[in-house]
């Protein structure tokens, strides 16, 4: 039969032009698409054999009884002819199917086949896992080829069909010959143009690299001559009992480019409303760019073992950005180019399960390998705590994971352990933030709590200032900062006694407080006596709803302009300096030396709180005045 000329059944020239220039961001993916189509064809033939409608063996890649070769895909490049050939031993197509499926853009034979299979209730469990859903992947080849020849033979038939097109809106179709069922596609390649992403696809090394990147885990062998190019070993798809620890470690290093062994390996299997497999890893040490906005994050995404995306941020929240791994989603909806995820509930379901598994593994490590967990938390804890200030976080579970320094001992503690040691009648978990572990441990704000035997948790990561501002609850206990408001340790009776003592001392030192406040009134909201100090002369606190000095400094470092909030300066009425100041200056607020002492007390409080003074020149002058007055 002579070749027939047909017009494509769509506005093809414009559509092909769109695909070649807009649909795919990386031209190399054409080979992924053609291999995926070949894998679908092999799945269909395998399914027909198992179902008994085609005849042959049920084995995955064995040859059929009709002389059909093993199920597989072959690639062959010809540098002289500038061609690349992709052939499979799959189910093939009839002439009518070629016209219907190849001659109609976006007519997906795979989708139609899958719908027909699922309509058979008694065979639903046997439906193969098919990749194609849109019927356009084949045409991606026009990105790299100016002429495509396709020869195909349907399983069970003796004649083959040849289809040829230059992508100009028409194609020819004629009878052909092929030794067995399957499809052979020959691409007549465009000229190499590296600047525009057109590589030399007749070069074996170029093709091998693409196969390794995109199709390494396709279930059928992809061969060039006698060489098998893909591993076919999707490690995440194998039972854990069949994978050695070394194999898990090697795969992690290949995936992450980290020479260290992973700290934890987390296999994930999801079945039911959707089917997905994942293999996640927790690194041993944080990467240098853990807190850089440029950090590459997200797990690799596969769909039925075919690589889709290197950094799928939609499947892992930013506070778990250090987690490495792969996700193979069998039912995931993709857009037409497979490169951007469609927003649907499957993404949210998979993400929820992945986060649950990771947090569960961390909780297990905290419980069963405490030393290892403490080392892990020191490096990754600041990132995990970001989850408590983002909408994607799971605050309750993250709070369960938090460990912090404590006044109770040298070892960090969990919130649950803190609660188990709380004094009778204590209604809050006392916390304190600082610029460093050393600074917060030396804070004068701790003195009163230590004196009365109340434990305080110590936090020094910058993120702590932000999430603790919200005063979250652990169970029914609120985390309350002792550097904010009028937080007093002790029972109700102790607090009343302290309040009465402070009132007596205020009456005695009220005039001195007024003079000190007048000297620094532009720098503080108030000057008052404190019941939380035992040895230090002064400290800074924030009012109940004001930003702390550390929070203001943090916002400034982030490039934000926080509202000007003045702190409260609290003075220790029992410190020996107070009666000496009263005796020396009485109520003489005009004495410059009194102003110098006020500046020193304020500067001393700032140094204890933030490690620096806001006005070094004023602090230095006050120090000079006091020293000169003492000589």
Query: Among 30-39, 102-111, 162-171, which range has the highest average pLDDT?
Result: 30-39
Question: How many Å is the Cα radius of gyration of the chain?
Answer: 36
Does CATH number 3.30.420.80 belong to domain 4-228?
Answer: no
Q: What is the pLDDT of residue 1?
A: 63
Rounded Cα gap, residues 417 and 370, in angstroms:
13
Q: Which of 387-391, 505-509, 583-587, 612-616 has the lowest mean pLDDT?
A: 583-587
CA of 620: how far to CAs of 171, 521, 597, 631, in Å? 87, 19, 12, 17
Q: Is residue 134 predicted with pLDDT exceeding 50?
A: no
Residue 124: band (very low, low, confident or very high) from pLDDT cuts 50, 70, 90: very low
Q: Is residue 68 predicted with pLDDT exceeding 80?
A: no
* Mean model confidence pLDDT for the chain: 84
Percent of the chain with pLDDT over 90: 46
Tokens read off for 407: 């006044």
Residue 380: band (very low, low, confident or very high) from pLDDT cuts 50, 70, 90: very high
Residues 495-513: tens digit of each pLDDT:
888 888 888 888 888 888 9
Q: Is residue 336 predicted with pLDDT exceeding 80?
A: no
CATH topology classification for 235-371: Ribosomal Protein S5; domain 2 (3.30.230)
* Burial grade of 597 (CB within 10 A; 0-12, 13-18, 19 or more): buried
Residue 22: band (very low, low, confident or very high) from pLDDT cuts 50, 70, 90: low
Q: What is the pLDDT of residue 570?
A: 93
Q: What is the pLDDT of residue 82?
A: 97
The residues spanned by each domain of the chain are 4-228, 235-371
Residue 55: band (very low, low, confident or very high) from pLDDT cuts 50, 70, 90: very low
Higher pLDDT: 373 or 424? It is: 373
> Looking at residues 289-316, what average pLDDT do you find?
85
Q: What is the pLDDT of residue 81?
A: 96
Residue 122: band (very low, low, confident or very high) from pLDDT cuts 50, 70, 90: very low
Q: What is the pLDDT of residue 291?
A: 86
> Looking at residues 185-192, what average pLDDT do you find?
96
Q: Is residue 149 predicted with pLDDT exceeding 90?
A: yes
In the block, residue with structure tokens 């031993």: 89
pTM of the predicted protein model: 0.77
User: What are φ and ψ of residue 568, in 5° steps?
Assistant: -100, 130
Tokens read off for 282: 């927790």
Q: Is residue 561 predicted with pLDDT exceeding 80?
A: no
Give the three-state DSSP class for 539.
strand
Query: Among 14-23, 86-95, 119-128, 419-428, which range has the highest average pLDDT?
Result: 86-95
Q: Is residue 338 predicted with pLDDT exceeding 70?
A: no
> Looking at residues 581-608, what average pLDDT do you find?
82
């Amino acid at each position: 039969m002579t070749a027939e000329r047909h017009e494509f059944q769509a506005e093809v020239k414009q559509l092909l032009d769109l695909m070649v220039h807009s649909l795919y961001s990386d031209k190399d993916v054409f080979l992924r698409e053609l291999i995926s189509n070949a894998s679908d064809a092999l799945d269909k033939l395998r399914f027909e054999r198992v179902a008994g409608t085609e005849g042959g063996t049920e084995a995955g890649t064995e040859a059929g009884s009709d002389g059909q070769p093993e199920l597989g895909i072959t690639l062959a490049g010809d540098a002289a002819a500038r061609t690349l050939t992709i052939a499979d031993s799959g189910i093939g197509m009839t002439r009518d199917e070629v016209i219907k499926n190849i001659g109609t853009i976006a007519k997906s034979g795979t989708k139609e086949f899958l719908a027909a299979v699922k309509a058979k209730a008694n065979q639903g469990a046997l439906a193969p896992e098919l990749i194609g859903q849109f019927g356009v992947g084949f045409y991606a080849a026009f990105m790299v080829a100016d002429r495509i020849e396709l020869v195909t033979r349907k399983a069970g038939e003796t004649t083959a069909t040849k289809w040829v097109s230059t992508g100009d809106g028409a194609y020819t179709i004629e009878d052909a010959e092929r030794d067995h069922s399957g499809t052979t596609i020959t691409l007549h390649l465009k000229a190499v143009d590296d600047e525009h992403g057109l590589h030399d696809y007749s070069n074996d090394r170029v093709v091998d690299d693409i196969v390794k990147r995109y199709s390494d885990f396709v279930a059928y062998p992809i061969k060039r001559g006698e060489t098998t190019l893909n591993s076919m070993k999707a490690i995440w798809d194998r039972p854990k009992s069949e994978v050695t620890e070394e194999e898990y470690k090697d795969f992690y290093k290949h995936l992450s480019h980290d020479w260290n062994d992973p700290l934890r390996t987390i296999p994930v299997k999801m079945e039911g409303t959707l089917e997905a497999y994942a293999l996640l890893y927790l690194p041993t040490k944080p990467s240098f760019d853990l807190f850089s906005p440029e950090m590459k994050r997200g797990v690799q995404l596969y769909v039925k073992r075919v690589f889709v995306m290197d950094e799928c941020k939609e499947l892992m929240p930013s506070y778990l950005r250090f987690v490495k791994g792969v996700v193979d989603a069998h039912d995931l909806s993709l857009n037409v180019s497979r490169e951007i995820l469609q927003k649907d509930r499957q993404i949210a379901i998979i993400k929820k399960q992945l986060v649950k598994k990771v947090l569960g593994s961390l909780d297990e490590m905290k419980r069963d390998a405490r030393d290892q967990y403490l080392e892990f938390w020191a490096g990754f804890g600041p990132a995990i705590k970001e989850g408590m200030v983002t909408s994607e976080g799971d605050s309750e579970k993250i709070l369960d994971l938090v460990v912090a320094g404590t006044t109770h001992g040298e070892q960090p503690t969990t919130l649950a352990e803190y609660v188990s040691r709380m004094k009778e009648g204590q209604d809050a978990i006392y916390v304190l933030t600082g610029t460093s572990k050393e600074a917060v441990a030396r804070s004068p704000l701790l003195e009163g709590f230590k004196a009365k035997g109340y434990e305080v948790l110590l936090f020094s990561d910058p993120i702590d200032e932000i999430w603790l501002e919200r005063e979250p609850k652990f169970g029914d206990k609120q985390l309350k900062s002792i550097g904010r408001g009028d937080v007093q340790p002790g029972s109700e009776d102790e607090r009343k006694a302290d309040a009465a003592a402070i009132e007596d001392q205020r009456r005695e030192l009220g005039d001195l407080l007024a003079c000190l406040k007048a000297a620094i009134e532009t720098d503080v909201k108030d000057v008052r006596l404190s019941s939380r100090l035992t040895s230090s002369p002064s400290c800074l606190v924030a009012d109940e709803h004001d930003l702390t000095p550390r929070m203001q400094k943090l916002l400034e470092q982030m490039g934000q302009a926080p509202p000007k909030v003045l702190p409260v300066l609290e003075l220790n009425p029992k410190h020996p300096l107070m009666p000496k100041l009263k005796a020396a200056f009485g109520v003489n607020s005009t004495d410059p030396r009194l102003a110098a002492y006020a500046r020193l007390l304020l500067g001393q409080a700032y140094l204890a709180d933030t490690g620096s003074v806001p006005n070094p020149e004023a602090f230095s002058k006050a120090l000079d005045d006091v020293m000169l007055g003492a000589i």
